Structure 1
Amino acid sequence: MMDQQHPYLLKRLERLNTIGVALSAERDNKRLLETILLGAQEITNADGGTLYTITDDKHLKFEIMRNKTLALAMGGTTGKEIPFLPIPLYLDDGRPNLTTVAAYATVNDKTVNIENAYSAQNFDFTGTRKFDEKTGYHSQSFLTIPMKNHESEVIGVLQLINAIDIDTHEIIPFSQANQSLVESLASQAAVAMTNQNLIEGLKGLFEAFIELMAEAIDQKSPYTGGHCRRVPELTLMLAQAAIDAKEGPLKDFTLNEKEFYELKIAGWLHDCGKVTTPESVMDKPTKLSGIFDRIDLVDQRFELLKKQAECDILKKQVEALKSGQVQDVAKLDSELLAFNQQCDEDREFLRKSNFGSESMTDEDQQRVINIAANQLVNANGNSRPFLSENEVYNLNITRGTLTKEEREIINNHIVVTIHMLDSLPYPNGLKRVPEYACGHHERMDGRGYPKGLTREQMSVPARVMGIADIFEALTSKDRPYKKAKTLSESLYILGKMKVDHHIDPDLFDIFVREKVYLRYAQQFLEPEQIDEVDESKIPGYQP
């Protein structure tokens, strides 16, 4: 008899080893649990089984249920919810639940092998009998084994039902040999589950830290914090559209699950260097902003300039009256009125110029210089220019609100990002995060920064992020220096960037053709921004 069983036992041992190898390689938690239960059923020839995990509130949660006779498969990857409530490990009065087999095995850290549930005296099988009455099944032999991690803590329970004799197909008790094999499997399974939990825990901590970084930037600057959260979303939308492309230059582009996750992490980290950017620069809403907006001081100077002009006119009028030149009094009144009107117009012009625009003309810049030439008399009686050199320099910023020096400070965030990301010890699956994250300010023609990379030197994911970064900025409603643009306005500007070799042309075509812009808009933009888009009017795009 032993000789006949020996080949079968050897086969089961080999199968146990194969299952152990599979457990160590599995990274999906649901498939891992299924492998554990199905492996245990296979080596014991059990008809059914259940796998439980322990919840934080000390209950046994049904994770996987299988039964061959009833063709029952619930939990795990099946997508079918198990309709049974978790089993409490402790009663309401705090005493351990010793009447339920699975709970008993857990709290006592002890394997329970029952030959016949209908004759067992120490456990409550009322629920099992009701299940049998309802289904016509006969639950007889039970093998319940706690699964312990490396710290000898029970983290789950494996329960098998009805061992089937290979020759007679009758229900038989679970043998000691089978019990030993399943205990060995349970030990390997617990290690695999612990490793999986540790991996998921570290992954969760890593992602939480990244999101915390974005939140820190959000708290530092309410104007750009939303950017850090929206760019990853738009990046993944466009990347998926490129993956799904069935035609065109990117029809063969693909990313596996790990590479897609890598791009997601890069999206979250793409602006992490902004934690070092001064708020006075990052949040500069107007050209004359620093500690405060100096435009109010300019307003006061205009009032002083008008008062000084009024005093000069009054002096001249007194002199005219003394010399009998009465007609000059009215003429001087007209001059004062004209001067005051000019001051009011110049003040409104400077207030408008103080807000960053898409461009400031040469004529506008010259007008600022002319206004600055007005002279104010200080308390010591000395004359000084109406505007300081620094104020003229700031007011004559061609685009936006930042001077060349301030823009360099802003641009430096990508250099800081590179230094930060390059210093991290990445696992193999995340080694391209710095490349993806740090390429969103490069241009296809090599005129971007910080490295001046060309399109051929950049990966597709890095080029994806460039478009996502720009489009989010164009449509953002939380920037202090501009109004949020509509879809049609933003796509027009983005199209001009394609024509100007700023962004990737193939990805831009997918962005428009697959209406990635619209999906993003419906999720993140205000209703008034989502206007009708005539794709035929987008520069560089052929519908």
Structure 2
Amino acid sequence: MPLLNNDDALKELLALSYRVSTEKNTTKLLEDILCSAKALTHADGGTIYSITPNQELKFETLINDSLGLYMGGTSEKPIPFNHIPIYIQGEVNKNALVALAAATQQPIIIEDAYQACSHDMSGARAMDQKTGYRTKSVLTVPMQNHEGEINGVLQLINAQHQGEVVPFNQQEIDLVLSMTSLAAVALTNKQLINEMEVLFESLAKVIARAIDEKSPYTGGHCRRVPELTMMLAEAVNKAQYGPLADFELTEPEKNALNVAGWLHDCGKIATPEYVMDKATKLQTIFDRIEFVDAKLEIYAQQRELQALKYPELNIDLPSELQQLAEDRAFLQTTNLGGEFLPNESVERIQQLAEKYHITINGIAQSVFTDDELQCLQIQRGTLTAAERTIINHHIDVTVMMLDSLPFPKHLKNVPEYACGHHEKMDGSGYPKGLTKEQMSPPARMMAIADIFEALTASDRPYKPGKSLKECLKIMGFMAKDSHIDADLFNIFIKEKVYLEYAKKFVPNIANEEIDESEIPAYVSPNK
């Protein structure tokens, strides 16, 4: 058989080198290796296998020109064969050439499968009986990388010359060995990259879970936000209308956005639990409403003593105690926090502080300390301004943490995506006061996801979860006021991302009747 043309062989090897360095799909890469080896050796058929964690050979691509077979790879036709074990009960599986080649890390060359005595070819002959094929020359090569590890096996069948089946010659064998070595190194590099990406994403999830575990009241937040963000991202990719009709996230950008979702609150790892978990306005290590209530009980007892000791004061004790009971109930309710405390209630608390005094060690004092008074007068939620600053600082820590990480090129946007969920489109957000034009669409998506998750969540210490209608109304006004991206909000509603999320995470509100035409700022793209 004439030797291969060196120029053709070099071109094929160079072409393969380029493909193995650029191809991101491992399945496609393995198929390319097989096709190149077939072309170089003029083989009639061939199969390429990968190695599973269980030390089995998995069929990746199978091609046979004479039988018209093309399975696996990019053919979308599954290969109906079981994995081949390399070892059986601790012993090398000598019943399959590919298993023997993988175990011994040595190529196996067969000139005629029906004349070979040194190897068990019963499997090949049995297959021939089923297909009517005639296996003759066989070349089985383990794919061994630079560290001596096997990450695949290539098998070629029936080298051909002028229509005749011939043995594989030494030049062909040397070329295939060089090719598989090159391919094995490329596969190893890709596997390392994939493993590093899996490791990085897993670490991001570990941090998120640690934060959720740190606070029982925000458990699941760091898991739900990335899921909702990706739901919205998929909806934006599908939407062929509005200002974002031409926008589409690539797979690497989707991966970066997913990682960003898991890391968006990583700075909360430095936030004190007593602030994160503050369920009521007076809570510290305990709820001080009990302390305030105890002081009011002392006040009641002191008034009762005064009424007995100084009858000339004409104290209307029943009336006073009735009013005290009403004031105590008011303080209990106020302590729970809420969306908004009216100015009249703030003033009433101030009046109560001036009205109710007790005497301890001869010193008259208000039943409220200055800090208790300040806490009770909080008008939104349960946090004071100082505590709100501590909570808001988590995003500064997030920025610091993510900016310090040497993200690879395809993840370089993770900090920008993750750190934008508290920014507002009009520039009034934090930490950087960015406007819509200064933020990427993925960062703006994450802001919507973070807000909607927080509104629907029922595991917050300071509020119950809201109804779907309430959540969409609030977000509609936020879009109207340029706090969230109105274009993305339209897609969020039009593609019913809110409903997809609710069905999965808050099914108790998913069945609500929603009239989308009543949502503030929402404009149906069909109108």
Query: What TM-score, normalized to structure 1?
Result: 0.93
2:45, 2:63 within 8 Å by CA — same for their partners in 1? Answer: yes
User: How far off is 1:9 after superposition?
Assistant: 4.1
**Partners of 2:195 and 2:140 in 1: CA distance:** 28
Q: Partner residue of 2:406?
A: 425
Q: Does 1:177 align with 2:171?
A: yes
More displaced 10-residue stretch of structure 1: 479-488 or 97-106: 97-106
Query: What SS is found at the alignment partner of 1:77?
Result: coil
Query: 1:387 matched to which residue of 2?
Result: 368
Whether 1:406 and 2:400 are equivalent positions in the alignment is no
Cα distance in 1 between the residues matched to 2:405 and 2:461? 33
What's 1:446 paired with? 427
Separation in 2 of the partners of 1:200 and 1:171? Answer: 40
Aligned to 2:464, what secondary structure does the other structure show?
A: coil
Deviation, structure 1 residue 73: 2.5
Matching residue within 292, 296, 320 for 2:290: 296
Per-residue deviation, residues 314-349 of structure 1 (Å, max 9, x unmatched): 2245x79xxxxxxx7xxx5xx222111111111111
> Is the CA contact (8 Å cut-off) linking 2:296 and 2:356 kept in structure 1?
no
**Does 2:331 match 1:350?**
yes
Paired residue total: 524
AA paired with 2:247? F
- Cα distance per residue 1:350-377 (max 9 Å; x no partner): 1110112111111101111111123443
Q: 1:90 and 1:244, CA in 2 relative to 1: closer, same or farther beyond 3 A?
A: closer
Answer yes or no: is 1:151 the counterpart of 2:147.
yes
Partner of 2:58: 61
Partner of 1:323: none
Determine if the alignment matches structure 1 residue 535 to structure 2 residue 519: no
Q: Quick one: which of 34, 38, 49 aligns to 2:46?
A: 49
Equivalences for residues 23-102 of structure 1 within 5 A: 23-92=20-89, 94-102=90-98
Q: Which amino acid aligns with 1:78?
A: S
Return the alpha-carbon distance in structure 1 between the equivalents of residues 395 and 332 of structure 2: 32
Q: Is contact 1:241-1:510 (8 Å) kept?
A: yes
Q: Which runs of 5+ in 1 are unaligned?
A: 321-327
- Asked if residue 459 in structure 1 is aligned to residue 454 in structure 2, the reply is no
Q: Report the Cα distance in structure 2 between the residues aligned to 1:499 and 1:61, rounded to whole angstroms.
A: 56
Distance 2:129 2:119 in 1: 18
> Which amino acid in structure 1 is aligned with residue 242 of structure 2?
G
Deviation at 1:36, TM superposition (A): 1.3
Secondary structure of 1:52's aligned partner: strand
1:286 lines up with 2:286 in the alignment: no
Q: In the alignment, which residue of structure 1 is the partner of 2:231?
A: 237
**Amino acid of the residue matched to residue 458 of structure 2?**
K
Deviation at 1:294, TM superposition (A): 0.5
Task: Name the residue aligned to 1:201.
Answer: 195
CA distance in 1, matches of 2:512, 2:397: 38
64-73 vs 455-464, which deviates more?
64-73
> What SS class does the counterpart of residue 118 from structure 2 fall into?
coil
Unaligned runs of 5+ in 2: none
Q: Compared with structure 1, are the counterparts of its residues 69 and 527 closer, same or farther at alpha carbon in structure 2 (3 Å cutoff)?
A: farther
Q: Tell me the equivalent position of 2:247.
A: 253
Structure 1 window deviating more from structure 2 (138-147 vs 239-248): it is 239-248
Q: Is the 8 A contact 1:455 1:504 kept in 2?
A: yes
Q: Alignment partner for residue 504 of structure 2, among 523, 532, 535?
A: 523
Match 1:130 to one of 111, 126, 130 = 126
Contact 1:232 1:268 in 2 (8 A): yes
Q: Which amino acid letter does the alignment assign opposite residue 466 of structure 1?
A: A
Q: Give the whole-Å Cα distance in 1 for the aligned partners of 2:171 and 2:281.
A: 82
Deviations 1:461-507 (A, max 9, x none): 11111111111111112111111112111000000111111111111
What code does the residue aligned with 1:88 have? P
Q: Over residues 133-155 of structure 1, what are the superposed CA-to-partner deviations in whole Å (9 max), with x where a residue is unaligned?
A: 22222222210011111111222
Within the candidate set 345, 348, 352, 1:367 is matched to 348
Match of 1:500 in 2: 481
Give the equivalent residue in structure 1 for 2:19: 22
Amino acid at match of 1:413: H
Match of 2:266 among 252, 272, 277: 272
**Letter matched to residue 426 of structure 2:** D
Q: Does 1:470 align with 2:451?
A: yes
Aligned-pair CA distance for 1:128: 2.1
Which structure has the larger Rg over C-alpha atoms? 1
The runs of at least 4 aligned residues of structure 1 exceeding 6 Å deviation read none
